Structure 1
Amino acid sequence: MIELLTATDLTAAAELTLINMQPYYKKYGLEWDSTTILTMTEGLSNLQIILDGEPVGILRLSFTDEVCQLRDLQIDSRFQNKGVGKLVLLEVVGIAEKAAVKFIELKVFKVSPAVRLYTRLGYSVQQQDERFFYMQYQFNKAASE
């Protein structure tokens, strides 16, 4: 069972992000450290991902009137490839529906294996640049067509 609780240790969350993202930072010459990550993320909705009572990751969201921005989803490497990300993304859909937004948007490195997961769950690429896919999940597709 997945629970999303308000994160209390944002430093640990920043360190998890650094560990998980370091290969991408190196590939693209980005010089981030955990302090930079903490500064960039402390104003977001930071939710600790709890699996069967154990903290396994961090989810970061922000909202506008029409958009839920999935800013970050980091899962501890010991729990990756076990369906946790999918469960969290399904929870995000519920959170976004309750917030009455029209879209969930995210940015993901093109080389990230998470692209396949997002696509399987209904996210589509809206734009891209040399590094990123800018993806969107749209509610009520039939109503807007």
Structure 2
Amino acid sequence: MATVKLLTDAEVEANPAAKAVFDDIRATRKSDFVNNFWRGLANDPALLKRTWEGVKTVMSAEGALDPLTREMIYIAVSTANSCSYCVHSHTAAAKARGMTEAQHAELLSVIALAGQNNHLLTAMQIPIDDAFLV
């Protein structure tokens, strides 16, 4: 259960600042669907706008990483941070961007291996090799 009200389209329409962000989300994503994350943030239009601008800048702009790779990284970080919502939404986004079942399986293997080894290294406090210092 959400700890904030998830604003309806009618409630967003009544707030010009939130409506402008929702309009941009729809235009950028070329979809009428606005997910619950944005509906919760719409209670604070300034936070909504700031968060959307960050997402748009990192996830939608042209860059050295292709959109699928960005989504897969987002899945890995969301897994590490235990954000179920983000794991679901970015897995759906990655699949929409062409992630295959084989790629998803490999991604899960990498996440599992990294998590296990991160815990082992943290527990053992192994010093970093000089060759790895960049």
TM-score (normalised: structure 2): 0.34
More helix by share: 2
More strand by share: 1
TM-score (normalised: structure 1): 0.33
